[in-house]
């Protein structure tokens, strides 16, 4: 039986979850995989926490201690953030130790540097846990759909925002109230900006779209819009129109053009992703051979994410040699790939207008001047001389809608542009 010695850097929520699974399922992994995986070193800034969590497992005082230990072949990084995680990982890779990480921000921003170090050291770099927690979407893309030309990737890949939007939809809560509940339940950080502003989903979509479309898609190419401007009125209006609101990550490939975007999106109630509730995640993939696949599960948490880390440890330990990106992973957009910014969508638009004769016809004229075809118009009850008017468009171009919005903001016939939400 092969013995595999592992070091863990950072034994908080995620690292602790991986440690617990490795400990609890050690015999299972021995029996089914022929591997005896031993955590022989733990590096954490709190020695007391290490002692309490591991029950006396070896604590490493420094990274150099781990690097110097020739018996350790795999290093797990669950510290989070860019530094010192980046420096630590590169040093481990250059020393020939394979690295398993859950760090989506680091992978998204510095994947090229990390992979270069891995190649120089002859080591592996594994990051299944960086995207969608315990849902094996990276494994599906890299090991199950190798023969498919993947053309679409659509997902709910942030559990915090999905929890918030579920509470707004099902319980009628405001954004602020739903956020506080998510924080109390442990699904949102004290500073939730990375989640609610869409950064977390942006990092993940950069990674997943690069893997799906076999080309480098830098995170800066991803259009990003969070959910902080979503109101209870938007959620209620969407429900009445037959839609559920989700923060979606969307990647599509058409020839050499790729669109990658993260934003609130109305989905028809019967869409499979509309049924994904609370902190759960799901990713919908379309390949030219397999057609549609949906992967669903917990997108965060100690044990789901820890499960993905353990899977990577086992995969690394069983691999005959490391594998690397299928594309030129240089951190830049690979020619001839182009990012499609003027993408096509349907739109939900909410305006507050003076309740005067001729106002609506002027608004529809402006939309028509931008080539925007209207599918439905709904006027809410007027008050104080103003009316809330909702528009649902047919498929149209993003730039056309943005042009119309700028025109509305300057028009005396429009009191305010209240909401603009894309529709599938």
192 and 291 share a domain?
A: yes
The residue whose two tokens read 């980046």 is 86
CATH number of the domain where residue 108 is located: 3.40.50.720
Examine the domain organization and report whether 277 and 401 are in the same domain. no
Q: Residue 326: how many CB atoms within 10 A of its CB?
A: 12
Strand partners, 423: 266, 346
Quick check: is 204 catalytic? yes
Indicate if 159 and 274 belong to the same structural domain: yes
Domain boundary among 80, 111, 130: 130
Specify the pLDDT at position 212.
97
What is the 8-class DSSP label of residue 342?
A: S
User: Does a structural domain hold residue 157?
Assistant: yes
| Residue 383 in tokens | 């008050």
332 occurs within a structural domain: no
What is the tally of helices (H) and strands (E) in the chain? Answer: 15, 17
Same domain, 66 and 143: no
Q: Pick the catalytic residue: 109, 204, 253, 286?
A: 204
Which domain range does residue 409 map to? 344-423
The ranges of the chain with pLDDT < 70 are: none
Distance CA 161, CA 164 (A): 5
Bridge pairing between strands 291-298 and 280-287:
antiparallel
Whether residues 124 and 148 fall in one domain: no
Mapping DSSP to helix (H, G, I), strand (E, B) and coil, where does residue 6 land?
A: strand
My answer on whether 352 and 212 are in the same domain is: no
- 91, part of any domain: yes
Q: State whether 126 and 145 are in the same domain.
A: no
Other beta carbons less than 10 A from residue 55's beta carbon = 8
pTM of the full structure: 0.95
**Residue 101, token pair as written in the block:** 């990480």
3-state SS string for 312-325: HHHHHHHCCCCCCC
Bridge partners (DSSP) listed for residue 155: 249, 283
Q: Tell me the CA end-to-end span of the chain in Å, nearest whole number.
A: 52
Does a structural domain hold residue 202?
yes
Q: What is the pLDDT of residue 103?
A: 97
Nearest 10 degrees: Cα torsion 400, 402, 405, 406? -110
- Give Cα separations from 392 to 70, 230, 238, 249, 258 (angstroms): 63, 17, 10, 21, 25
The answer to whether residues 253 and 351 belong to one domain is no
Give the start-end residues of each E strand in 55-208: 72-77, 98-101, 125-126, 150-156
Number of domains in the chain: 3
pLDDT value, residue 369: 97
d(CA 99, CA 165): 35
Q: Is residue 122 part of a domain?
A: yes
Domain end position, chosen among 95, 130, 165:
130
The Cα 174–Cα 247 span in angstroms is: 16
Query: What are the two backbone dihedrals, phi and then psi, of residue 394, each rounded to the nearest 5 degrees?
Result: -80, 180
Give the pLDDT confidence score for residue 67 in this predicted structure.
97
Round to whole Å and give the CA distance between 236 and 329: 44
Q: Which residues contact 64 (CB under 8 A, 6 or more apart)?
A: none
By the 8 A CB rule, do 318 and 32 touch? no
Q: How far is CA 176 from CA 161, 172, 182, 192, 349, in A?
A: 12, 12, 10, 11, 23
Query: Is residue 200 situated within a structural domain?
Result: yes
Boundary residue ending a domain (110, 130, 150): 130
CA 109 to CA 104: how far, in whole Å?
8
Count CB neighbours of 174 within 10 A: 14
Determine the Cα–Cα distance for residues 210 and 351; give it in Å rounded to an integer: 37
Pair (117, 167) in one structural domain: no
CATH number at residue 159: 3.30.360.10
Q: Is-cis flag, bond preceding 336, omega within 30?
A: yes
Report if residue 337 sits inside a domain: no
CATH number at residue 400: 3.30.70.260
Q: Answer yes or no: do 11 and 47 share one domain.
A: yes
Q: Both 282 and 147 in a single domain? A: yes
Is residue 357, in this structure, part of any structural domain at all?
A: yes
149, 172: one domain: yes
């Amino acid at each position: 039986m092969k013995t595999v010695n592992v070091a863990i850097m950072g034994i908080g929520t995620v690292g602790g979850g991986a440690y617990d699974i490795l400990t609890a399922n050690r015999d299972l992994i021995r029996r089914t995989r022929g591997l005896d995986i031993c955590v022989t070193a733990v590096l954490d800034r709190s020695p007391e926490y290490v002692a309490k969590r591991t029950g006396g497992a070896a604590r490493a005082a420094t990274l150099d201690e781990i690097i110097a230990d020739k018996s350790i072949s795999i290093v797990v990084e669950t510290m989070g953030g860019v530094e010192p995680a980046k420096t630590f990982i590169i040093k481990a890779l250059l020393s020939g130790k394979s690295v398993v990480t859950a760090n989506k921000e680091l992978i998204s921003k510095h994947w090229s540097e990390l992979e270069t170090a891995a190649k120089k050291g002859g080591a592996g770099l594994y990051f299944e846990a960086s995207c969608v927690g315990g849902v094996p979407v990276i494994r599906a893309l890299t090991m199950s759909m190798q023969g498919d030309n993947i053309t679409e990737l659509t997902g709910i890949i942030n559990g915090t925002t999905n929890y918030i939007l579920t509470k707004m939809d099902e319980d009628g809560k405001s954004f602020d109230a739903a956020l506080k509940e998510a924080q109390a339940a442990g699904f949102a950080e004290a500073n939730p900006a990375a989640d609610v502003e869409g950064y977390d989903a942006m990092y993940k979509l950069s990674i997943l779209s690069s893997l799906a479309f076999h080309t480098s898609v830098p995170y800066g190419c991803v259009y990003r819009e969070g959910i902080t401007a979503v109101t209870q009125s938007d959620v209620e209006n969407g429900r009445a129109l037959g839609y559920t609101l989700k923060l979606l990550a969307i990647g599509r490939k058409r020839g050499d053009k790729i669109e990658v975007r993260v934003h609130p999106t109305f989905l028809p109630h019967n869409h499979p992703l509309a049924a994904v509730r609370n902190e759960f995640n799901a990713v919908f993939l379309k390949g030219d051979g397999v057609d549609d696949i949906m992967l669903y599960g917990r997108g965060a948490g100690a044990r789901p994410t820890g499960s993905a880390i353990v899977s990577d440890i086992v995969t690394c330990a069983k691999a005959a040699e490391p594998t690397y990106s299928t594309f030129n992973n240089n951190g830049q957009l690979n020619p001839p790939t182009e990012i499609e910014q003027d993408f096509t969508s349907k739109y939900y638009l909410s305006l507050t207008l003076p309740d005067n004769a001729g106002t609506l016809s002027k608004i529809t004229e402006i939309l028509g001047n931008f080539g925007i075809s209207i599918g439905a118009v709904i006027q809410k009850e007027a008050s104080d001389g103003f009316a809330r008017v909702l528009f649902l468009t047919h498929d149209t171009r993003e730039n056309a809608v943005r042009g119309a919005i700028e025109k509305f903001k300057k028009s005396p016939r429009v009191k305010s542009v209240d909401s603009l939400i894309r529709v599938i």
